[in-house]
Structure 1
Amino acid sequence: MFRARLSAAAAAVGLLACLPGCSSASGAVEGCVGAQAVGATSGELAGTYRGEGDAEGVTLTLKAPEASESEPGGGKVTVRDWPTGDWYRSELGEAFDGSGTWSVVQGGTSATEFAHLSVSFTAPERFLGGDTLDSLLIAERDGRTSLYAEDDPDACPAFRLLR
């Protein structure tokens, strides 16, 4: 009986010690990159993003058409050292420099549906859907925008770009 009480007390102390540092999946992501966006416009996302974590050395530049600065649309994209392959399943593959178009896919009405950036490469032509990373979630913290790939919802995104 004493051992049972001791085990229960140890478990309670462990839980209490964890409360300040433990977080839900969305809390882990928010702590690293900021609050996830439900929507965004071309003008809000336009700019140059530099990689952090697994994306170190990667550059992504989003250009919005001047006429649609406040529209959700998209525009032209250029990348440098962009990864290929199913990197999220194993390791980053060969990198390439390329260009194409981008658009914002707005979040839904549910609290779990967030906006994301969709990229379509026109150069080099060898990359079809699934051959490279072509979708990134959008977040903001302290007035800075982050684009990231959520590979583990319980951890800070390993592949993230910051403007």
Structure 2
Amino acid sequence: MYRTRLPVAAAVLALLVCLPGCSSASTAVEACMGKQAVGATSGELAGTYRGEGDAEGVTLTLTASPTVPGSGTVTVHDWPTGDWYRSELGDTFDGSGTWSVVQGGTTATEFARLSLSFTAPKRLLDGDTLDSLSIAETDGRISLYTQYDPDVCPAFRLRHQDN
């Protein structure tokens, strides 16, 4: 009777000890955003995204280019200014520009990203606003997000509304 309880108790104890420090970046993201994308097409990404968490009130619309795969135009509403690595974002703006997909690499840690380039308003310089978002997919729905801490759910996230 004690022989069967000891291995079970040891396994439960090992799990409890491991939980705080054994999470991986992909596990934390997958738990709240879905599977990180290695690649994405214009057709998958095109559409309107609505903000959640720190991105509440933000709208991002991607229109696919008819001639250049994996790219197109972007329009944003209430998009935050400020350096992407700071915990506090600045004022918001409405603007437009272009987007393209930076495909993931060949290793398990290289995932696709959405690169944004704003042409309006012209006051923005490189680093003045969020211009790179990670891509995730769950149940056929695409999400975009920024990843500051790989051990927690991304706070700045947008969900695709068109599918």
TM range (shorter): 0.7 to 0.9
Normalising by the residue count of structure 2, what TM-score does the alignment of the two structures yield?
A: 0.85
Supply the AA of the counterpart residue of 2:152. Answer: A
Among 140, 143, 156, which residue is 2:153 paired with?
156
CA contact (8 A) 2:84 2:127 kept: no
Secondary structure of the structure 2 residue equivalent to 1:28: helix
Matched, 1:103 2:106: no
Among 77, 82, 86, which residue is 1:85 paired with?
82
Normalising by the residue count of structure 1, what TM-score does the alignment of the two structures yield?
A: 0.85
Secondary structure of the structure 2 residue equivalent to 1:16: helix
Does the C-alpha gap of structure 1 residues 18 and 45 become closer, same or farther in structure 2, counting only changes over 3 Å? farther
Q: Which blocks of at least 5 consecutive residues in structure 2 are unaligned?
A: 1-9
Deviation of the 1:147 alpha carbon: 0.4
Does the C-alpha gap of structure 1 residues 158 and 80 become closer, same or farther in structure 2, counting only changes over 3 Å? same
Distance 2:50 2:139 in 1: 17
Identity within the alignment, %: 75
CA contact (8 A) 2:103 2:112 kept: yes
Among 116, 120, 135, which residue is 2:117 paired with?
120
CA contact (8 A) 2:37 2:136 kept: yes
Supply the AA of the counterpart residue of 1:126. Answer: R
The match for 2:134 is 137
The match for 1:49 is 49
Tell me the C-alpha RMSD between the 2 structures.
2.2
Deviation of the 1:67 alpha carbon: 4.4
Deviation of the 1:26 alpha carbon: 1.3
Deviation of the 1:17 alpha carbon: 3.1
Deviation of the 1:32 alpha carbon: 0.8
Secondary structure of the structure 2 residue equivalent to 1:66: coil
Distance 1:77 1:135 in 2: 13
Aligned length: 151
Distance 1:40 1:87 in 2: 23
Distance 1:140 1:97 in 2: 26
Deviation of the 1:125 alpha carbon: 0.5
Supply the AA of the counterpart residue of 1:16. Answer: L
Q: Which blocks of at least 5 consecutive residues in structure 1 are unaligned?
A: 1-10
